[in-house]
Chains A and B, each alone.
Chain A
Amino acid sequence: DQQVKQNSPSLSVQEGRISILNCDYTNSMFDYFLWYKKYPAEGPTFLISISSIKDKNEDGRFTVFLNKSAKHLSLHIVPSQPGDSAVYFCAALRGGNKLVFGAGTILRVKS
Chain B
Amino acid sequence: GAGVSQSPSNKVTEKGKDVELRCDPISGHTALYWYRQSLGQGLEFLIYFQGNSAPDKSGLPSDRFSAERTGGSVSTLTIQRTQQEDSAVYLCASSSRAHPTAFFGQGTRLTVV
Contact = CB atoms under 8 A, between A and B. Distances in A.
Interface of A: 32, 34, 36, 41-46, 49, 89, 91, 93, 95-104
Contacts of A96: 50
Interface of B: 4, 33, 35, 41-43, 45, 48, 50, 55-56, 91, 93, 95, 100-107, 109
A43 B107 contact: yes
A104 to B, nearest CB: 5
Nearest to B92: A43
B101 A43 contact: no
Contacts of A104: 42-43
A99 to B, nearest CB: 5
Nearest to A46: B101
B91 A43 contact: yes
B45 to A, nearest CB: 6
Contact of B56 (A89, A98, A102, A103): A98
Contact of B100 (A32, A36, A44, A89): A32
B93 A99 contact: yes
Given A43-B107, A98-B33, A103 B102 contact: no
